[in-house]
Amino acid sequence: MTKTLELAQALISRPSVTPNDQGCQDILIEQLEPLGFTPEKMRFGDVDNLWLRFGDSKPLFCFAGHTDVVPTGPESSWRFPPFEPTIHEGQLYGRGSADMKGSVAAFITAVQRFLTNHPNPRGSIAMLITSDEEGPAVDGTVKVIETLQARGEKIDWCLVGEPSSTERLGDVIKNGRRGSLGAVLTVIGKQGHVAYPHLAENPVHMAAFALAELSNTLWDEGNAHFPPTTFQISNIHAGTGATNVIPGEMEVQFNFRFSTELNPEQIKQRTEEILRRHNVNYRIEWNLSGMPFLTAEGKLVDAVSAAIRDETGFDTELSTAGGTSDGRFIAPTGAEVVELGPLNATIHQVDEHVSVDDLDRLSSIYEKTLEHLLG
């Protein structure tokens, strides 16, 4: 039983379904306060946030993560109870083991070892932990960053512990993310009897060709750092449930994951041009949840890449693919931001798990990153 594994199990055993922390952050305080970290709890709304800092000199290196997890679904579908961490055939099972309580545990043990060897590092170390990453993400990291900016406290380097690895630990680090722009489209028709369509106006028929064009449009071709922008419909709802009633409205939810080739206003304009060209009677509500960001190769990317090479013997790959993360709130401050964590193959799934060996190796990579930057 290593210290990293022990901490991961302690965190997983807390049923911290977003936005509940369930005492996870208190465990972090217990581990880091004796080392000289100053804990600062920041609660906004129903969300618990924690800012822990060691030292006051520059540069400031920050580990960022979250203690909340997504719901488990029917617990009967799980091989082992999701909040009873279980080791089976070298894997640690439990909700949050990969996303991202395993990473948080690795943060702690990496810092403990590093400060034992370097009690006076060449800079400061912080941890930014929230219980609102898996939820709306409005009272979590974004609010902490606003608080830090208001008092002139700036992060120079930030490592987010999101599960970035795909085939083996450390094979991919995220040095950026695409932007995310969502919308709720309401198509307005006129309800009526299916036998008398001339007396009604079917919103499904009205929007069909426009939705097809939106789905088939090449929004951009991406660039050297980002894949092309994508459009995906996530939900469609129309109808009363009766088979003989033409619906009066249809609601469509869709999302753009966009590159730096486009900005939100361009996407909105092109989308609404398509809707108008197809004579769709509509109203639309847009929600920008994150702008794209990119951390160019530099001190942080080099340090993390070197740490992975030191631990694994191979070179990592830089990627901006995947969903959004709380890095989108930190990068606009001017911080260099990367994401590195365990394999993402089982995140948000039944029987989420992570390799026990990978947890210790991840902790070692985090420690080596600190060595390269602050040692």
Q: Which residues pair with 251 in a beta bridge?
A: 186, 237
Q: Say if CB 142 and CB 325 are below 8 A apart.
A: no
Q: Say if CB 316 and CB 170 are below 8 A apart.
A: yes
- Reply yes or no on whether 317 is catalytic: no
- Reply yes or no on whether 302 is catalytic: no
| E strand spans, the chain | 38-44, 47-54, 60-66, 86-88, 91-93, 124-130, 157-160, 172-174, 176-177, 179-188, 192-193, 230-238, 245-246, 249-258, 282-290, 293-294, 317-319, 336-339, 353-355
Give the amino acid at 40. Answer: E
Q: Say if CB 61 and CB 103 are below 8 A apart.
A: no
Question: Where does the chain have alpha helices with state H?
Answer: 3-12, 24-32, 102-117, 141-150, 203-216, 264-277, 299-312, 327-330, 356-374
Strand, helix or coil at 23?
A: coil
Cis ω before 206 (30° cut-off from 0): no
- Give burial (CB, 10 Å; 0-12/13-18/19+) of 307: buried
What does the block give as tokens for 131?
Answer: 């219980």
Which of 251, 242, 249 shows the shortest CA–CA distance to 200?
A: 249
Which of 315, 313, 294, 296 shows the shortest CA–CA distance to 361?
A: 313
Catalytic choice (48, 68, 162, 339): 68
- C-alpha 354/C-alpha 3 separation (Å) is 16
Catalytic choice (21, 48, 99, 133): 133
Cis ω before 264 (30° cut-off from 0): no
Q: Which residues are catalytic?
A: 68, 133
